[in-house]
């Protein structure tokens, strides 16, 4: 009887997963293919699909099936699909059932309508035109938070949507550590004053060729992946064999390359999930922090490493012989790892990136707490940019309007980028120990050992375990530890800038 009920639950969850992936496809199309005048009807379509999926999942029928299967699920092997599906579905149902379907639909609708407004506001440096939709999204988030009992801080509710079980006070403690130990690194580097001026031109056609060659070496295949341009890069798809990553290009630097490697990391995580988990709530990443650890790993720990560039710099120089005349791989390696405070988060170097996240983390809490009139958000942004990075913001396009997240209502997402940086370094120490010839492989263009390790230890399991359980299984502790990341940064910057090496 229990097996029959489990099969019924799985059938219902598969239908819901199909709806969720349909919404994902509509979202991808909106950002990549849809003509601008389609925004209004697309918002209604997303709201409809989101409402139906929410109603089906939070129905009494699904709730009753979960309740009837709890004891049976606990009797199964903890790692099994059966036990994991019942366990995760129960947790998801308990949270989702507190949110009215109409509120969920309105959140989807508002996000879809806000996106084209943000695109135009960003293009025209016009924060005032974005303000009404930002206010609407924040009001909806506050209503969403009000659906739950708050044990500590309201921000905990939205943070948990992206990083399960994480608390605001824990993030604050981690960020305080970074302020204490990472900020001095930036000052030490600045005191060296060794950055070489550079003024490059990288025609886009060669960039597209080079980026595809890189991600194909990583594991991108034309029969399961897509790469398309968009305003703000993201990764999406409809399943394990349908991975869609996006990028954007610049003609004066290779930021698009690093963005593409970043999105490849997200895509690979989804691509390497156990096919047996497809069409279940388990067929995605454990959390956004774990997901970001993968994107930041491929972007930085791989893509900014010297062995990687020993392999790929000759090809880059072949594509840009005039631009890179006089360069050797060591000079190029120093340039792509240059520490220099910047306006744009996605273009920030590894040493300053987390400071961009701390700024956004603080502003999100302040906005939810009505600590200042929302009209003052650009001023609050600009003052923190000066405080943390010593940069004056010339306009809102490269300031408060640069990120897509708030147009989509994604409050609570930003901390996961920094958490992902930290987790990537924790994982990397284990990977290097387990695969001693990893870097030698990079020099030969061989990335399968890294993909295989990630599949076995992380990707294959999908969402079967909590973030804490996942870290415990892989690195031996359930806690996110910032020390390995700071150690990694200091070691790298010591070799480039001659600052003190880690003790």
Point out the residues that are catalytic. Answer: 263
Residue among 62, 51, 66, 63 nearest 20 (CA) = 51
Residue among 188, 86, 100, 178 nearest 143 (CA) = 100
Contact criterion met (CB below 8 Å) for 229 and 249? yes
Cα–Cα distances in angstroms (integers) from residue 342 to residues 42, 60, 170, 352, 438, in the given order: 35, 51, 27, 8, 31
Q: Give the C-alpha separation, 353 to 498, whole Å.
A: 21
Three-class SS of residue 472? Answer: helix
Contact criterion met (CB below 8 Å) for 115 and 130? no
Contact criterion met (CB below 8 Å) for 293 and 424? yes
Q: Give the C-alpha separation, 379 to 395, whole Å.
A: 11
Percent helix, percent strand, percent coil in the chain, to nearest 5: 65, 5, 30
Q: Give the C-alpha separation, 378 to 194, whole Å.
A: 32
Contact criterion met (CB below 8 Å) for 65 and 119? no
For 342-351, letters b (16+ CB in 10 Å) and e give bbebbbbbbb
């Amino acid at each position: 009887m229990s097996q029959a009920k489990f099969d019924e639950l799985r059938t219902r969850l598969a239908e819901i997963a199909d709806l969720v992936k349909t919404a994902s496809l509509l979202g991808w199309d909106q950002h990549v293919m849809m003509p601008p005048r389609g925004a209004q009807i697309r918002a209604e379509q997303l709201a409809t699909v989101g409402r139906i999926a929410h109603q089906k999942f939070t129905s009494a029928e699904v709730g009753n099936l979960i309740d009837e299967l709890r004891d049976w699920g606990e009797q199964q092997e903890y790692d099994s699909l059966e036990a994991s599906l019942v366990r995760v579905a129960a947790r998801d149902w308990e949270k989702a059932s507190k949110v009215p379907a109409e509120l969920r639909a309105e959140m989807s609708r508002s996000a879809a309508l806000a996106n084209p407004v943000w695109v135009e506001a960003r293009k025209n440096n016009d924060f005032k035109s974005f303000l009404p939709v930002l206010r609407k999204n924040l009001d909806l988030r506050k209503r969403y938070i009000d659906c739950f009992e708050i044990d500590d801080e309201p921000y905990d509710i939205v943070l948990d949507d992206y990083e399960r079980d994480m608390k605001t006070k824990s993030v604050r403690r981690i960020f305080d550590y970074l302020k204490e130990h990472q900020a001095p690194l930036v000052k030490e580097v600045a005191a060296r004053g060794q950055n070489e001026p550079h003024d490059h031109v990288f025609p886009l056609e060669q960039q597209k060729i080079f980026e595809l060659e890189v991600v194909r070496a990583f594991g991108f295949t034309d029969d399961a992946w897509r790469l398309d341009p968009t305003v703000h890069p993201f990764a999406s798809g409809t399943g394990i064999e349908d991975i869609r990553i996006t990028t954007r290009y610049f003609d004066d630097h290779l930021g698009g390359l690093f963005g593409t490697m970043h999105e490849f990391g997200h895509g690979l995580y989804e691509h390497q999930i156990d096919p047996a988990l497809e069409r279940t709530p388990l067929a995605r990443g454990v959390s956004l922090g774990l997901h970001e650890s993968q994107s930041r790993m491929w972007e930085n720990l791989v893509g900014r490493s010297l062995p990687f560039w020993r392999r790929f710099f000759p090809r880059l120089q072949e594509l840009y012989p005039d631009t890179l005349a006089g360069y050797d791989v060591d000079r190029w390696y120093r340039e792509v790892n240059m520490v220099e405070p910047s306006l744009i988060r996605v273009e920030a170097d590894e040493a300053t990136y987390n400071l961009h996240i701390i700024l956004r983390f603080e502003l999100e809490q302040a906005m939810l707490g009505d600590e200042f009139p929302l009209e003052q958000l650009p001023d609050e942004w600009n003052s923190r940019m000066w405080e943390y990075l010593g940069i004056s913001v010339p306009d809102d396009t490269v300031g408060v309007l640069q990120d897509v997240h708030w147009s989509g209502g994604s409050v609570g997402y930003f901390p996961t980028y920094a958490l992902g940086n930290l987790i990537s370094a924790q994982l990397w120490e284990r990977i290097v120990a387990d695969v001693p010839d990893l870097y030698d492989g990079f020099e030969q263009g061989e990335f399968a050992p890294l993909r295989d390790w990630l599949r076995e230890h992380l990707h294959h399991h999908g969402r079967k375990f909590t973030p804490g359980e996942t870290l415990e299984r892989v690195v031996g502790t359930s806690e996110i530890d910032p020390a390995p990341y700071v150690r990694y940064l200091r070691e790298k910057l010591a070799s480039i800038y001659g600052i003190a090496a880690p003790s």
